[in-house]
């Protein structure tokens, strides 16, 4: 009875302080069709799934305190590993009087300026079962203190509760051959997921230049994959999560119609220290052919000094792409691109188009083609995964 009274009093005081409540989110239907049968006979040729991501935002009187809750759930009719739930965000934010902010809870942080690959984006783990492009992220438990000054912003992060990367299951597509066994992951940290990671980042705008510089120390979000034989005498890949130190810089400059971009990292802890970068330019033609449409031409170079020993296929690659914003009332846009491996000569083509059908409904169409991948261990697992993806998303 005493506990119920106390909770009731707390909730009453909380309700009295609430100045704004906003409930929004989306629900989606997704269908993926594959052109070829997968390399593994257990893989399916199509996939249908449903996803839901509501968002609950509460602001207290005065505007200094707020709470955000963003859960996520997907049901996939094909791959059990892709049926999963996550808390994308569950955090309290306090805005101080003297140019500082505090964020506590599960959050999402994005860093990066390039189009083809986000090398510097390290705080959140990749939710790889959502999309092979690596853009979707899992929520990360953290404490983030941001000091916002005239001379720049300093972000301090403390993180525990490490999130393992999600991987497609045995029946799923866009997976390695053999598949990744996520049940037997190996951690270098003795306390595994409980290890405390930290990061510090400085960011500021110097005229036309936006610059970010950070250092991260903790468990790598990008695991190495080691082949082992499981109890069923199958060869599987086991993720190994090393402790790393990574220093990074990201730079973007706007010069008229030109955008100059750079992301670069140096990392130790996964073998010898290595350097990797993505650098490029984007030029936008406004009002092409006397229309409202803007067309951007993108070119980026991806480099990793580990060469063929890199855990990524992007060690000597060129990305060429085109971005079209039609600037119509339906917010129609299109992004098409190709990544060419300059040493192995493999090619990956991708296209994505978005169109708002009405105030609540948006349609997205994506396609990917993988060509000449046999010389690349990572990409060759995807050589039969040419696909078309339709996503219908209802916003409320």
Element (H, E) at 130: none
| Secondary structure string (H, E, C) spanning 241-298 | ECEEEEEEEEEEEEECCEEEEEEEEEEECCCCCEEEEEEEEEEEECCHHHCCCEEEEE
Question: Which alpha helices (H) appear in 18-140, and where do they start and end?
Answer: none
pLDDT of 308 reads: 87
CB within 8 A of 214, min separation 6: which ones? 111, 120, 155, 199, 200, 201, 202, 247, 248
pLDDT of 377 reads: 82
Tell me the pTM: 0.92
Closest by alpha carbon to 111, among 143, 77, 157? 157
What is the distance, to the nearest Å, from the Cα of residue 103 to the centroid of all Cα atoms in its chain?
Answer: 20
CATH code of the domain occupying 20-395: 2.40.160.10
Instruction: Band the pLDDT of 9: cuts 50, 70, 90.
Output: very low
11-28: burial string, b at 16+ Cβ within 10 Å, e else = eeeeeeeeeeeeeeebeb
Q: Residue 183 corresponds to which tokens in the numbers above? A: 């049940």
Average pLDDT over residues 331-348: 96
pLDDT of 62 reads: 79
Is 8 a residue whose pLDDT tops 70?
Answer: no
Q: Residue 58 corresponds to which tokens in the numbers above? A: 């509460």
Structural domain boundaries of the chain?
20-395
């Amino acid at each position: 009875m005493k506990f119920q009274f106390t909770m009731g009093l707390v909730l009453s005081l909380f309700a009295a302080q609430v100045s704004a409540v906003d409930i929004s989110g989306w629900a989606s239907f997704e269908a993926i069709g594959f052109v070829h049968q997968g390399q593994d006979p257990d893989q399916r040729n199509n996939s249908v799934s449903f996803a839901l991501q509501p968002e609950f935002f509460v602001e207290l009187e005065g505007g200094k305190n707020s709470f955000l809750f963003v859960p996520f759930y997907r049901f996939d009719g094909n791959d059990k590993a892709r049926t999963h739930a996550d808390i994308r965000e569950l955090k309290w934010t306090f805005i101080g009087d003297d140019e500082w902010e505090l964020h506590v809870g599960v959050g999402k942080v994005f860093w990066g300026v390039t189009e083809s690959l986000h090398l510097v984006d390290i705080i959140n783990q990749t939710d790889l079962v959502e999309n092979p492009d690596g853009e979707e992220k899992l929520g990360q438990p953290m404490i983030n203190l941001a000091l916002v000054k005239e001379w720049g912003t300093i972000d301090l992060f403390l993180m525990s509760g490490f999130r393992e990367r999600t991987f497609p299951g045995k029946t799923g597509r866009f997976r390695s051959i053999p598949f990744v066994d996520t049940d037997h992951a190996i951690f270098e940290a003795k306390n595994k997921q409980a290890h405390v990671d930290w990061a510090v980042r400085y960011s500021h705008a110097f005229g036309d230049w936006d610059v970010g510089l950070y250092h991260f120390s903790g468990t790598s979000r990008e695991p190495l994959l080691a082949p082992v034989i499981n109890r069923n005498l199958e060869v599987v890949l086991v993720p190994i999560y090393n402790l790393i130190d990574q220093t990074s810089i990201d730079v973007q400059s706007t010069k008229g119609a030109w955008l100059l971009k750079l992301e670069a990292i140096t990392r130790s802890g996964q073998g010898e220290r290595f350097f990797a970068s993505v650098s490029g330019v984007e030029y936008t033609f406004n009002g092409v052919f006397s229309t409202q449409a803007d067309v951007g031409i993108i070119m980026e170079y991806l480099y990793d000094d580990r060469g063929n020993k890199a855990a990524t296929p992007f060690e000597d690659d060129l990305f060429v792409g085109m971005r079209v914003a039609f600037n119509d009332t339906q917010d129609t846009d299109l992004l098409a691109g190709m990544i060419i491996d300059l040493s192995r000569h493999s090619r990956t083509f991708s296209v994505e188009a978005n169109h708002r059908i009405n105030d609540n409904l948006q349609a997205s169409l994506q396609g990917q083609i993988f060509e000449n991948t046999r010389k690349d261990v990572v990409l060759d697992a995807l050589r039969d995964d040419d696909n078309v993806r339709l996503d219908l998303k209802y916003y409320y």
